[in-house]
Each structure stands twice: as C-alpha cells, then as structure tokens.
Structure 1
Amino acid sequence: MRSLLRPAPRPGVGGHSRVLFTLAQCLPFAIALLVVGIELSPAHFLYTGPLLTATPALAAVTMGPKGTIWAAAFALAVSVTTATYNQAWGNQQVYTNFLAILLVSAASVTTSSAIRTRRQGELDQVRRIAVAAQEVLLRPVPARLGPMRAASMYLAAETGAQIGGDLYEAVQTRFGVRMIMGDVRGKGLPAVRSAAAVLGAFREAVHYEDELAEVMNHCAAAFRRECAVPGAVDQQAECFVTAVVAQVPDGSVVQLVNRGHPPPLVLRQGKVQALIPTSPLPPLGLEDFIIGPPAKPESYPFVPGDRLLLHTDGVVEARNRDNDFFALPEAMEAVYARNPLEFLEQLHQGLIRHTEGWLADDVAMILLDRLDEEVGEQVGADADSSSDRRD
C-alpha cells in the first residue's frame, strides 16, 4: 500500500489560502521596493527607516530562516543604495538604520529557526500517529490473493493527513476474493469514523455471508447506526457512502454490487471496459430511494490476463489547470507494468502530472491481476520459498 501526505489544494480547486500565503511572502519585498520608490523620488525627505527595519521581521513569519536572511540582505542593499543616491553618508540616522536592520534580522532568524524546529517536531509526531491510525483502519492489501496478484494505493488530500473518507479492503474467503471500495461524503474525523464503521462491518460479514448483497446490507446497517450517533457525522450535511463490493469466485468472472460508486474498470488486451451496473442503486444511507426487490450481484467476465481496477471518484474527478478531468481509461491503456504495484505507481505519476501535485479529493485504488493457473501456482511457490528464506 502506498500513502502520501498531500499539501493544501491548489488555487481554483479550493486553495484560496495558498494565494494569500504567497501574497504574505511577497509583502516584505514589496515594502522594500516601496522604500526605493520613495527614496529615489522628490519625497525622499520622508523617514523610511522603520519600514526597512520591519522587512526581516515580516519575512520571518512566512519564509523561514533562509527567506528571512534574503529579506534582510535586500533591506540592507536598499538602505546602502538609497543612502548613496541621496548622499546621506555621515548622517547618524543612516548608521542607526543599519544597526536596527541587523539586530531585527538576527532576532528574526533565531525566532524563525526555533519556530520551524518546533513545528517540524509537531508535524513528525502527527505523521507517526497518522501512520499508526492508517495501519489500523486501512490495512495493506496482500500482494497475493488466491489466483491473483494485488496492490493498493491511498493518497489523502487533507493537509497533513494520511487518512480520510475513502475506504477499501480485499480479503481471501471461502467464497473467493472479496473486496470493497467506498467513499464517505465529507472530510475530517466524522468521515474517518464512518469509514471505520463500514469497514468493520465488511470485515466481519465477508467471511460468513453467502450472498454478496447481504455483505453490502451489513455495511449499510453499520453506516446507519453510525449516522444515528449524535455528533458522529455532520448533521447538517447529507449522510451517505458510495460503495462497490466485488467478489472473484473460482470461475472467470467478477461479481459486483454497486451502490452509487464509480464503476470498476477492466483492462483486457490493451483496452479498458467500465463495469457499469444495469440497475443503478443509490449510495449507502439513501436506502429509501431503492424501489423493487433487493439487489443481486451482477457478473462480468474476468479472465486470466485481465486487470481489474477499483477506485474512488478522487481519481476520475481530478482536474488540471484547464479544469479537464483525469482520463483514467486512457491512462490505464498507456501504462505498461508487469506487476500491480508498478502499474499503480505509474497511474499515480500520471495523476500527479495531470494535477501538478495538488489533489482536491482523496484517492484510493485497488488493482487485481488475474493470473493463468500455471503462472499462479508458480507465483505462489515463489512466495512460499521467499517466506521460508526469511524464516
């Protein structure tokens, strides 16, 4: 499993705070340029010393020690230039300004360094906690599941977070390989709690429920119970989870129950096919909109050599600067990789290039390779021998 920290969203995709941050970084240099304009104009009789003295202090707030040093150097250069232009050398005020800039710069660099060290320590601690929480909630998908090779990837869009509202799991059961991919509406801790409730129900029911639809029903019931807990979710927002549950039995098929989730994709002989349900169903939590008999799994071909991708809408709805969506089917067809982990890594790199590294939503993916029986037996034997060597 791959998990990465994501920075704040890009401007235009919900990142207006980044624009304000950039403006704050430019403010010290803008003030210094304003001083240049005043000192080189007929208004040079105005006293601009306090403006230059404040430049390194303002830089220390947003730019760190290196940025503060550059701002201080720029302020000193401006002071030397204006003093020379106005022939002010020998004036005690000039030397007082130099001394004030140097003292404020030294204090700002020291303070900025201490703040950065403390913040880095706090961030490292948050990361360690996030990694531990992620390993409990989103366990790594095994590299081998019966006659298949598997891999997973998770990218959290929340600043400084490694877990969010996306959920996934893949396990080997007596019914075959069973998987779930879901996306909780909302962000933050309420979304994480809802994801944990759905995953807990899936992990329990997946081993004893014969019918795949009943596994989904257990997940829906657990989610409704979570929504009923006061304060567990955002009571002002609509409470639902899109989810798809998949089962790969012994035959060359994959069975799906899809509750409002983006359809899985199958890559077969270089072409991608979307496994679109014939009878669309609403997400978990919106069962009142279901009309007719209970849902039954739909079967699709999944033969040796095929690759099955389950993903969340954070992949297909990722946009670039031109507001174009990420073309996932075309990206899958363009990827060449021998194993699932490399395949997902190349998809990840394509996604990062498309969005220029700024995700507006969490991203989760599971990839399954359906192996030939002979290949599957050889992969299993290689895995067993590797395990023996490690022991």
Structure 2
Amino acid sequence: MSPVSSSRSLFALARALPFALLLAVLTIELSPFSFLYTGPLLSPAPALAAVTMGPAGTGSAILMAGVVSTITATHNHAWGSQQVYANLLALLVVSVASLATSIARVRKEQELAKVRRISQVSQDVVLHPVPARLNDVTAAGLYLAAEAGARIGGDLYEVLDTPFGIRIIVGDAQGKGLPAVRTAAAVLGAFREAAHYEPELPEVMRRCEAALHRELSRARGDQEAAEPLDPTEQFVTAVLAQVPDTPVVDLVSRGHHPPLLLHRSEADALETSCPLPPLGLEEFLGSHPMPVQTHPFEPGDRLLLYTDGAVEARDPAGNFFDLPAHLAQLSEDGPLGKVLDRLRAFLLDHTRGNLADDTAMIIIERHTRHSSERAPS
C-alpha cells in the first residue's frame, strides 16, 4: 500500500471511530453485559469527531451521543440518578467545546487553503512551467520547497527559446522567505527580457545583476535603512546555459554549482576555468571578464542544472547526497520528467524527507533535428 493510500485509510478510520465508540456503548448497554459502566465513553465521541470532521460531522456525533445516552438511561431505568445527570452535563460541556473547536479548525483550514492557492498563483507567476519541447531540445523542471506547505522560495529557473538558441537560467537567491522570492523574481524578470535581445551571454548576466541591484535599492528604501545593506547578505548564485544549433552548450556561471553533463552513462561536472563571485558581489569580480565556457553537447546527451539543495542535502549520518552518481544510474530511465521524479525520490529517501534547503532542477536533452525542422528566426 502506498503512503497516500495508507494515510487515507487511517483518516477514514479516525472519522469512523467516534460512531464506532457510540455503537459499542449502545450494544453493551442493551446486552447482558449492561452491568459494565460505559457512561464515561460517551463524552469522548464528540471530541474525537471534532479532530477529523467539520461542524456537521461533529454535530452528528453530538446528536448520536445524546440519543445513545437517552436510550441507555431509559433502558436501565436510571432517570433521576445523579450519575445520569452528571454524564449528561459532561457530555454537554464536551459537546459545546468540540463544536467550537471544529468550527475554528475548519476556518483555519479554509484560510490555509486560500494561502496555498495564492502561493500556487505566485509560483506560476515567478516560475513559469518548463516547456517540454523547444526545437531539438526537450526539457523538464522540478522544484522542491524545504519549508512544509510552501511552494516557492529563493531558487529560480527559466527555459526560453530565443533567436540565439535555447537559453536557461538556474539560480539561488540567498536567504529565505519573501525577500528571497522578491530577489528571485527581479533576476528572472531581467533574464526573460535580456535573453531575447542580448546576443552575448555575459551581457544577459550583467542585466540580471543590474536588476538585482535595483531590487536591493528598493529594499533599502522600504526599510528606510540608515546604513546600506550588507552585500554579503544579499546575493544570487546563477548559471546561464545556451544551446545553439551546433552540438555544444555555452555556460556562464556566477558562483553556482557546475551543471552535470550525462554522456554515455557518465555524469561529469562542467567546471568553470575561472570561478566568479555570485551576482551582487561584483566588488570581488574586479576587472575580470565573464568568460563563456563551451562544452560538447551532442544528440542523446542530457544536461542537469540544479541548486545547492540537491548536493548539500545530508542523510541522518551527515553524508552528502551524491547527485552525479544517482544521475548516472538514470541514463536509460526514459522521459526527462521520469528522471526528475526518480531523482526526487532518491533525494527524499536520502534525507528521510527532511530537506534543509529548497531544491530546483532543470534537465534538458538534445535530439537529432529532422530536416523538416528549422531553427527559430
């Protein structure tokens, strides 16, 4: 049985428990075992119903408990005894508290559902769905938020078909929460614009850096800070990839983890020959140019771009997740979406489901272009 099916079965069992308890009390009271004292078992039924059901379900359990109490008192000729009235008073108090608790819980769940819907809309605005096919390149994306219930954080990605080839960005905004989301949105907005008009990858990266600085300036204005923000606390690591018509991939990296090239069942990191600081820390860049690293990217090859959550994840013993080794295992694992699903399963199994950081992955594969296909103009 899958974990989802198991959870649903347990939930259904929990919802049936209050009514099963009341039915057991009624059966005992009307049987030869009526000498057993079951009065205290009536009060927990509404409380149990309030845990898993709304006001209607809780009200049904309260009504049934009252009916069972009336039947048993009549059957045992117990009306007028202090014990019967004490049981009814206890049932009344618990019923009122249970109904109020159920109403409050349902309202909180509705508010949470609304927040999640807004979060989903925000994710769709900031992180666009990854197109499955772009000319002779297929692609798939994955986002895992470390915070329970969250759908978006500081990790960012985008895949675009431009006049200069397929262009991709994957990055990680330092920090968490809304500030990281705003930073990621600023960088993505600049990339989406510049990728279509700037012929050179370094210029696209500079446009992203300029957008980051504008966002930080706006943040300083909002905070009315007397002192400038510490630049070491506001930066974005990012890698840009460009897949032209020729069988290569061009990369520009600013402090980001190297992409992994899966070629003939081997996963190799495409290291940069000139490491550069992240966006926002250009004072450490000095006069160094941003070199473009070009690597072979042939039909059948796959390229994985990812954020640090995928390689810095630890198991309970403190061991890091070996992303290249797991990727190499999936060299013949079918569609790209299935590959990412398997990587997600490996990652969650390694961490026992406890991710310490958000994780984003983009995987692409080059295919042989048919003669009927042509490059975008």
Q: Does the alignment pair 1:252 with 2:247?
A: yes
Q: 2:271 aligns with which of 269, 273, 276?
A: 276
Distance 1:322 1:287, change over 3 A: same
Check conservation: 2:46, 2:95, Cα contact below 8 A. no
User: Which residues in structure 2 correspond to 1:328-339 (within 5 Å)?
Assistant: 328-335=323-330, 336-339=332-335
TM-score normalized by structure 1? 0.70
Q: 2:368 aligns with which of 351, 361, 372?
A: 372
Q: Which runs of 5+ in 1 are unaligned?
A: 1-53, 70-91, 382-391
Equivalent residue of 1:158, what SS? coil
Following TM superposition, by how much is the alpha carbon of 1:326 offset from its aligned partner in structure 2, in angstroms?
Answer: 1.5
Q: Does the alignment pair 1:137 with 2:126?
A: yes
User: Which residues in structure 2 correspond to 1:200-239 (within 5 Å)?
Assistant: 200-229=189-218, 230=220, 235=229, 238-239=233-234
Q: 2:345 aligns with which of 345, 349, 356?
A: 349
Following TM superposition, by how much is the alpha carbon of 1:356 offset from its aligned partner in structure 2, in angstroms?
Answer: 2.2
Which residue identity does 2:338 align to in structure 1?
E
User: Which residues in structure 2 correspond to 1:90-169 (within 5 Å)?
Assistant: 98=87, 101-169=90-158
Following TM superposition, by how much is the alpha carbon of 1:323 offset from its aligned partner in structure 2, in angstroms?
Answer: 2.1
Following TM superposition, by how much is the alpha carbon of 1:292 offset from its aligned partner in structure 2, in angstroms?
Answer: 3.8
Following TM superposition, by how much is the alpha carbon of 1:360 offset from its aligned partner in structure 2, in angstroms?
Answer: 1.7
Following TM superposition, by how much is the alpha carbon of 1:347 offset from its aligned partner in structure 2, in angstroms?
Answer: 0.9
Map Cα deviations across residues 238-286 of structure 1 (whole Å, 9 max, x no partner). Answer: 1100000111111111111110111110111111000111110000000
Counterpart Cα distance in 2 of 1:366 and 1:253: 17
Which residue identity does 2:234 align to in structure 1?
C
Distance 1:107 1:297, change over 3 A: same
Q: Does the alignment pair 1:323 with 2:318?
A: yes
Which residue identity does 2:361 align to in structure 1?
M
Which residue identity does 2:353 align to in structure 1?
G
Counterpart Cα distance in 1 of 2:82 and 2:237: 68
Check conservation: 1:265, 1:309, Cα contact below 8 A. yes
Which residue identity does 2:355 align to in structure 1?
L
Check conservation: 1:65, 1:112, Cα contact below 8 A. no
Following TM superposition, by how much is the alpha carbon of 1:185 offset from its aligned partner in structure 2, in angstroms?
Answer: 0.5
User: Which residues in structure 2 correspond to 1:63-78 (within 5 Å)?
Assistant: none
Check conservation: 2:47, 2:94, Cα contact below 8 A. no
Q: Does the alignment pair 1:302 with 2:297?
A: yes
Counterpart Cα distance in 2 of 1:284 and 1:57: 57
Q: 1:195 aligns with which of 172, 176, 184?
A: 184
Superposed CA RMSD in Å reads 3.3
Check conservation: 2:47, 2:95, Cα contact below 8 A. no
TM-score normalized by structure 2? 0.73
Following TM superposition, by how much is the alpha carbon of 1:98 offset from its aligned partner in structure 2, in angstroms?
Answer: 4.9
Residue of structure 2 in register with 1:359 after alignment: 355
Equivalent residue of 1:159, what SS? coil
Map Cα deviations across residues 56-114 of structure 1 (whole Å, 9 max, x no partner). Answer: 999999x6669xx9xxxxxxxxxxxxxxxxxxxxxx99878755653443234323322
Following TM superposition, by how much is the alpha carbon of 1:200 offset from its aligned partner in structure 2, in angstroms?
Answer: 0.8
Check conservation: 2:132, 2:140, Cα contact below 8 A. yes
Q: Which runs of 5+ in 2 are unaligned?
A: 1-42, 59-80
Equivalent residue of 1:366, what SS? strand
Distance 1:349 1:279, change over 3 A: same
Distance 1:273 1:121, change over 3 A: same
Distance 1:57 1:231, change over 3 A: farther
Q: What's the % identity of the aligned pairs?
A: 49
